[in-house]
Amino acid sequence: MEHESGRVEQERGKDAAGGRGSGIEAEERVKIFGWLVGPGFVLLALGMVFGLSSGDVPSAESPSVSATALVAGPLRESLKDPPMTEIGGIEQRCISCHQLFESLWDGSKPLRQHMDVQIKHGVDGSCYGCHSRENREKLELKGGELVSFTEVARLCGECHGPVLRDWQRGTHGKTLGYWDANLGEVRRLGCTECHDPHSPAYEGIIPLPGPHTLRMGERLNEHGGESNRNPLRYWQENKGHKAESGGSH
Amino acid sequence: MSHRIYEGHGDPVCETRPGLTRRSFLRRGVGTAGGLAAVAAALSPLRDFDASEMSVAGFLQKHYKEMDAQEMEAALDRIREQVEARYEVRPEIRDIKPMDGVEFVYALNLSRCIGCRKCVHACVAENNQSRDPEIQYIRVIEMPRGTTDVEHGDHHYERATVPDEDHYYMPVQCHQCANPPCVKVCPVEATWSEPDGIVVIDYDWCIGCRYCEAACPYWARRFNFTTPKIPKDKLNPNMSYLSNRPRSQGVMEKCHFCLHRTRQGKMPACLEICPTGSRKFGNVLDPNSEVSQILRTKRVFVLKEQVGTLPRFFYYYDERDPISGYSDEAKGGQG
Ligand code: SF4
């Protein structure tokens, strides 16, 4: 309205200069006109808000992320004490076999048992770098001390000192449960709940789908184009519109 | 429209109205019509406005900080009914308050993150973000090694497998700054910093001006341009007032450190899903918490430190980087 009255002043000045009429009547009319503009806007706004509502049903085609990809928890199951393993469909203790048969393997021949084990770890590829030759339900530290599978961190830490130190502080590894022991169980996962001890380096994994949202910048990689960047992709498809930037995949 | 009527009558009309020349009247008429058209255009998104999201009680509700327990309960009841009507799910919704002696901090290990984007989608599922159009709080940026300049990063990487050995991955989400620019610019105080450090939004108070979105140097805020859509079977019924209750069109939202979980001692959803343990969360006021240990013993930095936002979200590195292959020895699997 301020702007409007400013203009009125201007008009009046011009009229006076032109020597046309008194200007009082004009002012009245402009005022009436101005008074009508305000309610006009309000009516328009009300019409927009209440007159034309179209209430969409809240359903949506979800981006293709399978529910199983989003199950939180340890990546693998680690061995307990005593360690159990499935042989012939039955859960068995290691000693069920190993106290019957003495292990004669000397590292020279390929394995005939435990053939799923691929060793990409350690310095000489030998089982006995970690496993005890005498007691198959234990692991063996460098000094000869036997530890159970639940204490595997002590064994790993013999080579990976800084990582063990970080894990003890909580700066390496994953912690599930609660962030404070006073509130609930703090479950700091052990080495073998993430890493396969026979092949501990992480393999590459398939990433989940990229964004179709606003404010994600330009595509920089070799795939180029805007084709995968359309925040309204599903919305447009649901409404029967063709996605403008061809973003339908 | 109006100016044509006067045009038909010609000059005499104007001459009988001294002071209101034909030209000035035309100008004003055109201006008014233009103004109305502009307002109509600006309001046109409201045509898609879903009236079921509106209620008189919601409109008349007080500001979050001014509501007493009874008024909050009434508000929660209203939300329960709205959610049930819309999604056919009865939500468990509460107003969960911050704990005493707790200040939350997040830390993310850039040496470990492999860019799998699991955190992004776990967050969407936990926090009832719109699937259509898609809204995501976490951005995972693929960065060339040797720079922390996000201008060189790519959000849209598509690879058969990650990580790529020439890149590292930097997830970015709300940093819950101790000096939050988004809070300063909000004209209606719909967003503020809570005592535990979480910057929250009252979705019923937000007017959707998007000032905060512009103010955030981390691109952490998201706006609901349309009515958000969530499949009914995907709605997470475990909600709280200031976090993951369903939002409506025209309001802002962002990461809130999963406060409906974390204020009850649990970990945020993005942390629980992370397959690499890159994400760490806890109470920085507890000297023995994991995040305190990280701040004390790791090399830590914050993003865009120079803008003075004082984030509560820290990035850190390990001494040796298992992904880049810091040495030949590392390729033997020191990871
Ligand atoms: S889930 Fe973990 S590893 Fe995957 S992108 Fe997120 S932070 Fe990185």
pTM for the model: 0.77
A1 touches chain B (CB under 8 A): no
Please give the structure tokens belonging to residue B221: 């805020």
Query: Is A198 in CB contact (< 8 Å) with chain B?
Result: no
Q: What is the pLDDT of residue B251?
A: 96
User: Nearest chain B Cα to A216, which residue?
Assistant: B155
pLDDT band at A230 (very low <50, low <70, confident <90, very high): low
pLDDT tens per residue across span A69-80: 788 888 889 999
DSSP result, A58-75: ---PPPS--GGGG--S-S
- The residue range of the domain holding B45 is 1-335
* Alpha carbon distance A117, B22 (integer Å): 93
In chain A, % of residues over pLDDT 70:
68
Q: What is the CA radius of gyration of chain A?
A: 37
**Residue B170 and residue B219 in contact, taking contact as beta carbons nearer than 8 Å:** no
For B265, which of A172, A184, A201 is closest by C-beta distance? A184
Q: Give the list of residues 6+ apart from residue B304 with CB closer than 8 angstroms, or none.
A: B217, B218
Where are chain A's structural domains?
1-47, 76-193, 213-245
> What does the alpha-carbon distance between residue A36 and residue A205 come to, in Å, rounded to a whole number?
65
Token couple for A249? 């995949």
Q: Which is more confidently placed, B249 or B38?
A: B249
Residues 6+ apart with CB under 8 A from A126: A107
Q: How far is CA B49 from the centre of its chain?
A: 21
Distance B139 CA to ligand 1 centre (A): 10
- Rounded CA separation B108/B266 (Å): 17
CATH code assigned at B134: 3.30.70.20
B119-174 tens-digit pLDDT: 999 999 999 999 888 899 999 999 999 888 888 888 888 899 999 999 999 999 99
Closest residue by Cα to residue A176 from B265, B286, B171, B197: B265
Q: What is the Cα–Cα distance from B277 to A189, expressed in whole angstroms?
A: 9
**Residue A87 Cα, gap to closest chain B Cα (Å):** 29
Q: Is the peptide bond before B181 cis (omega within 30 degrees of 0)?
A: no
Read off the pLDDT of residues B165-210 as tens digits, 9 standing for 90 and up: 999 999 999 999 999 999 999 999 999 999 999 999 999 999 999 9
Q: Which of A 77-116 lie inside 8 A of B, CB atoms?
A: none
Contacts of B134 (CB under 8 A, 6+ apart): A63, A211, A212, A213, A231, A233, A234, B124
pLDDT in tens, A141-172: 999 999 999 999 999 999 999 999 999 999 99
Distance from CA of A238 to the nearest CA of B (A): 9
Report CA(B49)–ligand 1 centroid distance (Å): 36
ipTM: 0.79
Secondary structure (3-state) at B199: strand
Q: How far away is chain A from the Cα of B320, in angstroms, using its nearest Cα?
A: 9
